[in-house]
Structure 1
Amino acid sequence: MQGKISKSRVDKMRAGEIIADGEIRGFVARKLSSGKVTFGYRYRDAAGKQKWHGLGIMGSITPDEARTLAKKRAGEVADGRDPSAERATAKAEAAKASRASSNTVNAILDDFVMRHASKLRSEDQITSALDRYVRPQIGETSIYELKRRQIVEMLDSVEDKAGPVMADRVLAHVRKAFNWQAARDDDFLSPIVRGMARTKPKERARQRVLTDDEIRDIWHALETADAPSCYPRYVKMLLLTMTRRNESADMNAVEIDGDLWTIPGERYKNKLDHVIPLPPDAKALIGTKPQGFKGNNWFVFSTTDGKRPFSGFSKAKASLDAEIAKRRKAEGRAKMPRWTLHDLRRTARTLMSRAKVPEDHAERAMGHVIAGVRGTYDRYSFLDEKREAFQRLADLVAIILKPPAKNVVRFDREMA
């Protein structure tokens, strides 16, 4: 129906009725089945497609106000503009701006830590690096506006303060967080690209092997360091079994059968069971079941009476380093160079070579799969050879801790 759209005319409309204004072409009023009256402007865009541009609902806008808006929209169309498309664009930009303001780097890191990193044993290291180096630099920036330049500047700052290795660690944490977000967000593209690392792969590979003096320093400092009671046994086990940090930390009594410790494949790097024949010095570190613990699945190294594995690596290591430094200073010796728990594994492998353990036997003792035999891997193969390898390692460590007099034949010659 055609006619002038006015309040009196609109008040008489029936449900489903449409009035096309006789003065402004395209200005329309229609009454919905709900009883509401909506005003709109109908037009064709540059491609000839018919469009509807809503002007408002009766009650929130009067017919005269709707007429004024329709006249304005008609002028825009005459000028080649598309009111509906412009409104959609403005709405999308507003939504994007709102989303950007809520999706800052800090917000993404919070979500990443809560949903992902909190489940990892390395949570403390990750959150510490993010809190110290990332949030102060780019935390308030929207992830949709973050530029590569900002990432580079952040890494420059980390490198200046803590060195290139720390910069690469921070980069690894941020890359993982951003990749995690990108898998959940259609609109986010990580600004991190290849070439941002500050060290080369060969430079990142640590070559640190502890000297005999350093091994003695660690052993002696463990006895007085302000660390959990399980920590000295744990650190010694790392060296005597050539295991990685979490492999020993998660050691459970159910994995031990006599002098054999079987690390299940689900928590071993190569996904295969790794059997370690424990020499007496290593087996003595296991201790006894905590009093009151029900069952046999207690964790050997624990601060919770066997209920959970030891996990306070950073704090305990810092206490151990402080004790070593104190002892060295008192003896007038230089500060011990930086070392990590993983250096114990590399040191143990070096000691096996020094104890004349055949290379293949040492590699098997270390848990490495010899090329060409993965398909026929037998977890009990070379058991006697591994037992001999670990015993030689334990014997050499014992000699290092209590060096023989100068007139006694040296261990490496004796093993020749």
Structure 2
Amino acid sequence: MTRRKTLSDLGVQNLKPKAARYVFPDPELGGHYVRVTPAGGKSFLALSRDPSGKQVWATIGATDLYEIEKARELAREAIKRIRAGLPAFEEKAKADTFKEVAENYVKRHVAANGLRSQDEIERILQKYIYPKWEKREFVTIRRSDVASLLDGVQDKNGPRQADYVLAVVRAICNWFASRHDDYQPPIARGMRRTDPKSRKRARILDDDEIRAVWRLAENNGTFGAIIRLALLTAQRREKIGAMKWDDIAADGVWNIPSEARQKGVGGALQLPEAARKIIAEQNRIGENPYVFPGRGNGHFQGWSPCKRGFDEKLLTALREEMAERGGDPEKAKIEPWVIHDLRRTARSLMSRAGVRPDIAERVMGHVISGVEGVYDRHSYFEEKKDALNRLAALVETIVNPPAANVTPLRAAL
């Protein structure tokens, strides 16, 4: 076979696989080869003999990792070392695995800064990322690896979960890049699986839906109580789920704790009678300090399974009502809704009840913008009390309307 006078990067790229693995010699450097496998994989190799005359092959690396001039440089060094009786390459310090980098990120960034998302970050790492990359050398993770990971999550758990995984991977890679001179994160624009703008929700429950959800919630234990309080107080589900008995004063004032780096909360809220009654109906469990207890001495956490069970019961109720009215129960369906939609619904109901927009925003704990938000330090306690009373009165009217105004549960809730 006639050797080529030179071998370029394009020439390496154009080497074709054969039925059996073969090596192609580099015309410009004796002892430097390209190995081509039947599957099309290509690697740079160095070949020389050690002082005892033994032939030693050394793999430099895949051809897509090095340009040929860099491969030749590494091959020359490897040949010199082999001839001197040394290992072909200097042993490098053990590279950090993805898990080691991720754990360091959690320790030095997430925990050190008190990020409230720590539990969720660790859950995503344990469930979606470690099973694939736990022992993977961190710096070898490439863009195609990220895309493959996201494809698997999207196929099994949906595009939104894939985006949450991407957010964690991106954060870890960016943090690592801030601490190392030569590292380039393997994340590119366009890797998201959903459009953030399209995810913004505008869903609120109408009166028929409020009535159906409320009536089912009345007989649905702890989760049902949380559902009703979410509608009566306009507070986030996490704050309601973590409500402590000590947070509720004897006069019914709920002092909502606010933690560092946390979105705003409603502060001190005088709860309406309907909300106080729901709380009073809850049983204290041993030494557990929470109104809605969870495992051990923790608070309620079972959002997803309880929501699924609640929706199943809601669908059953809908089917039974359709059957009573002579309709086809199989055509019954539930229009998707999430617990946070109740917060948005409560805000809309406050406007409907005549509550001033700035007061409704303060009830929800939203930041008031501009000069007013900076200089107005009034607590607005009485105004927020009036807003929640108006909200509770309107909810009562919706849930128990005059008989002539009752609308049957719709076929598509």
How does the TM-score come out when normalised to structure 1?
A: 0.62
Residue 148 of structure 1: how far off its partner (Å): 1.1
Give the partner amino acid of 2:123.
Answer: T
Residue 328 (1) aligns with residue 318 (2)? yes
How many residues end up aligned between the 2 structures?
319
Native 8 Å contact 1:250 1:310 kept in 2: yes
Q: 1:275 aligns with which of 252, 268, 272?
A: 268
Q: Following the alignment from structure 1 to structure 2, what is the Cα–Cα distance between the partners of residues 146 and 139? A: 11
Partner SS state of residue 269, structure 1: coil
1:396-411 matches, cutoff 5 A: 396-406=394-404
Say whether residues 1:147 and 2:142 are aligned partners.
yes
Indicate which of 245, 251, 271 corresponds to 2:243. Answer: 251
Deviation at 1:260, TM superposition (A): 2.0
Moved more, 211-220 or 352-361: 211-220
Residue 376 to residue 211, structure 1, CA distance change in 2 (3 Å): same
* Aligned residues with identical type, % of pairs: 35
- Residues 399 and 353 of structure 1: CA distance in aligned 2, closer, same or farther (over 3 Å): same
CA change 1:189–1:301 in 2 (3 A) is: farther
Contact 1:138 1:150 in 2 (8 A): no
Residues 253, 299 of structure 1: 8 Å contact kept: yes
Return the index of the structure with the highest Cα Rg: 1
Read off the aligned partner of 1:324 and give its amino acid letter: L
3-state SS of the aligned residue for 1:389? helix
Does the CA contact (< 8 Å) of 1:262 and 1:276 recur in 2? yes
Pick one of 304, 313, 316 that aligns with 1:314. Answer: 304
The superposition leaves residues 287-320 of structure 1 with CA deviations (integer Å, 9 ceiling, x where unpaired) of 27966857xx922221368x42222222222221
Query: Matched residues in 2 for 1:326 and 1:219: separation?
Result: 15
- Separation in structure 2 between the aligned mates of residue 68 and residue 268 of structure 1, nearest angstrom: 66
Are residues 142 and 260 of structure 1, via their aligned partners in 2, closer, same or farther at CA, if it must alter by over 3 Å? same
Structure 1 window deviating more from structure 2 (134-143 vs 349-358): it is 134-143
Is 1:91 aligned to 2:90, yes or no? yes
2-side partners of 1:336 and 1:353: how far apart?
A: 26
2:127 is matched with which residue?
131
Q: Distance in 1 between matches of 2:291 and 2:376?
A: 28
- Select the residue among 240, 257, 261 that pairs with 1:264: 257
- State how far apart, in whole Å, the 2-side matches of 1:299 and 1:267 are: 21
Q: Distance in 2 between matches of 1:234 and 1:122?
A: 24
Map of 1:375 onto structure 2: 374
- 1:63 maps to what in 2? none
Letter in 2 for 1:373: E
Structure 1 residue 141 displacement after superposition: 4.7
Q: Does 1:344 align with 2:336?
A: no
The 5 A counterparts of 1:14-413 are 83=81, 90-93=89-92, 95=93, 99=95, 103-104=97-98, 123=119, 127=123, 131=127, 134=129, 141-159=136-154, 162-179=157-174, 189-225=184-220, 229-257=221-249, 258-266=251-259, 269-270=262-263, 274-287=267-280, 298-303=289-294, 307-330=297-320, 331=322, 332=329, 334-371=332-369, 372-378=371-377, 381-406=379-404
TM-score by length of 2: 0.63
Change (3 A) 1:358 1:89: farther
Q: Partners of 1:262 and 1:377 in 2: how far apart? A: 20
Structure 1 unaligned segments of length 5 or more: list them. Answer: 1-65, 70-78, 409-416
Contact 1:218-1:324 at 8 Å conserved across structures: yes
The answer (yes or no) to whether the contact 1:130–1:170 under 8 Å persists in 2 is no
Is the 1:147–1:191 Cα contact (8 Å) retained in structure 2? yes
CA-atom RMSD in angstroms: 4.2
